Amino acid sequence: MKRVVVTGTGVISPIGNMTETFWENLKKKTVGIGRIDRFDTEKYKTKLAAQVKDFDPLDTMEFKEAKRMELFGQYAVAASAEAIAQSGLALEMEDRTRIGVSVGCGIGSMPIMEKSYEKLESKGPGRIPPLMIPLMISNMAAGNVAIHFGLKGKCINVVTACATGTHSIGEAVRAIQCGDADVMVAGGTEAAICPLGIGGFGALTALSTSEDPLAASLPFDKRRGGFVMGEGAGVVVLESYEHAQTRGAQILAEVGGYGATCDAYHITSPCEDGEGAARAMQLAMQEAGLTEHEVQYINAHGTGTHHNDLFETRAIKKAFGEAAYQLNVNSTKSMTGHMLGAAGAVEFIVCVKTVQENYIHATAGFEEAEEEMDLNYTKEAVSREVTAAISNSLGFGGHNGSLLVKKFIG
């Protein structure tokens, strides 16, 4: 199959709205969590979230275009703009029918549903906003990216809850390997910090109720009490090696493998023995032609819920055996919160930066895990040679995805 490489990255996140800003803040253990300021949280148990700061869609698009997108779409277009710019793709010189889009969103726009329901209740169905449906549906992230940049190849929207970003990139890799596209703009986006979003996840008792921003998102720590909702977007430019080489692109990393499985177990809980997630990691390693001893780092799903972190630890041990104890495992969500459909894509970008710089960021706030959770969860940042890294995502419904990122060697 064709080799697939990464030539551009773009990030909108609670700790920075460009890849380099985001990466530097990860190195500094900057926590992007604070009090929710978009609505009154008095009646909510959860008061904190990881909101994007200082985002202006007009930095990327015209006012009229921005008005026809909800926030999740604006984040996607902005992250794509950074990724395409870094890749050096001269779109006007490319065959745009060979450039596709795979940008997913886990939920779509709950804020427009809230506003539209208020209109329905107060003024009747005749006052529902005419664009409610196209503003709401999650595929508009991919659609708006394609429209903004004039990309006419395969355009898909993967929705697998919290695994959306990972599967979006994985399916984009497959599109290139199968010859459906030469280039794919791929990733995930989300903007669900709103009354329905916080209230809904709160009703599941999945959210942290801590009011201390530095002790709210505590992946793998025995004090953990739920995840903190985040938001933003992560987008990468993927190309066949031949296409990137022909145009003289700077290659950042190579996608070595992709594994996708299902637990077929429960609508919200991962499988207790971690079998499905373990199999996703094993499939990614098999495709890359690597053994468990040749991977140095795992960017874990690591949400900070009791079940996820325990069951993911079991999955890593099942997939890696004794080699699990040689790994560095961390969670970016300790600083960004859980970016839902964007999480896997942003964490894939962390793996790209890690293999480039041989630097593994700390799991912020981590102090001590319970007895069964005995892996190296990277309490402090580490500089070590990283030739292969895996990014894991586990989504409601039992969706598991793993992407293996390799240091690029021509």
pLDDT of residue 15: 98
Distance CA 321, CA 149 (A): 45
| Span 238-297, pLDDT tens digits | 999 999 999 999 999 999 999 999 999 999 999 999 999 999 999 999 999 999 999 999
| Span 191-224, pLDDT tens digits | 999 999 999 999 999 999 999 999 999 999 999 9
| Cβ count within 10 A of residue 367 | 13
Same domain assignment for residues 284 and 315? yes
| Span 349-389, pLDDT tens digits | 999 999 999 999 999 999 999 999 999 999 999 999 999 99
Same domain assignment for residues 239 and 365? no
Same domain assignment for residues 233 and 326? no
pLDDT of residue 117: 97
DSSP H stretches of helix in 2-136: 19-27, 63-67, 71-87, 110-123, 132-136
pLDDT of residue 1: 85
Terminal Cα-to-Cα distance of the chain (whole angstroms): 16
Which SS3 state, helix, strand or coil, does residue 202 take? Answer: helix
Q: Which of 198, 224, 246 is the last residue of a domain?
A: 246
Report if residue 358 sits inside a domain: yes
Distance CA 191, CA 109 (A): 7
The residue whose two tokens read 């069964």 is 372
Distance CA 186, CA 169 (A): 5
| Span 168-187, pLDDT tens digits | 999 999 999 999 999 999 99
Same domain assignment for residues 229 and 287? no
Q: Which of 246, 278, 305 is the last residue of a domain?
A: 246
304 pLDDT tier (thresholds 50, 70, 90): very high
Report if residue 92 sits inside a domain: yes
Distance CA 395, CA 140 (A): 21
Rg (CA), the chain: 20
pLDDT of residue 192: 98
Same domain assignment for residues 86 and 232? yes
Report if residue 199 sits inside a domain: yes
Q: Which of 246, 280, 307 is the last residue of a domain?
A: 246
Same domain assignment for residues 304 and 401? yes
Same domain assignment for residues 180 and 46? yes
The residue whose two tokens read 């499939």 is 283
| Span 126-143, pLDDT tens digits | 999 999 999 999 999 999
Report if residue 101 sits inside a domain: yes
* H or E stretch at 298: strand 297-299
Distance CA 123, CA 132 (A): 15
Report if residue 253 sits inside a domain: no
Domains in the chain: how many in total? 2
| Span 98-116, pLDDT tens digits | 999 999 999 999 999 999 9
337 pLDDT tier (thresholds 50, 70, 90): very high
C-alpha 143: how far from chain center: 19
DSSP state of 251: P
**Amino acid in the structure at residue 273:** D
Distance CA 123, CA 129 (A): 11
Same domain assignment for residues 166 and 295? no
Same domain assignment for residues 82 and 146? yes
pLDDT beyond 90 at 73: yes
Report if residue 251 sits inside a domain: no
pTM of the entire predicted model: 0.98
Catalytic site positions: 162, 301, 338
C-alpha 114: how far from chain center: 25
Same domain assignment for residues 119 and 50? yes
Whether 336 and 303 have beta carbons less than 8 Å apart is answered as no
Closest CA to 308 of 276, 283, 286, 284: 276
**Amino acid in the structure at residue 264:** A
Same domain assignment for residues 180 and 305? no
Same domain assignment for residues 278 and 344? yes
Average of per-residue pLDDT values in the chain: 98
Report if residue 344 sits inside a domain: yes
pLDDT of residue 200: 98
121 pLDDT tier (thresholds 50, 70, 90): very high
Q: How far is CA 226 from CA 304, 334, 350, in A?
A: 5, 11, 23
Altogether, the residues listed in the chain come to a count of 410
Report if residue 252 sits inside a domain: no
83 pLDDT tier (thresholds 50, 70, 90): very high
CB neighbour list of residue 169: distance below 8 Å, 6 or more residues apart: 102, 186, 187, 236, 238, 255, 258, 344, 345, 348, 403
The dihedrals phi and psi of 345, each to the nearest 5 degrees, come to: -70, -45
Q: What is the CATH number of the domain that holds 195?
A: 3.40.47.10
Domain that holds residue 65: 4-246
Percent of the chain with pLDDT over 70: 100
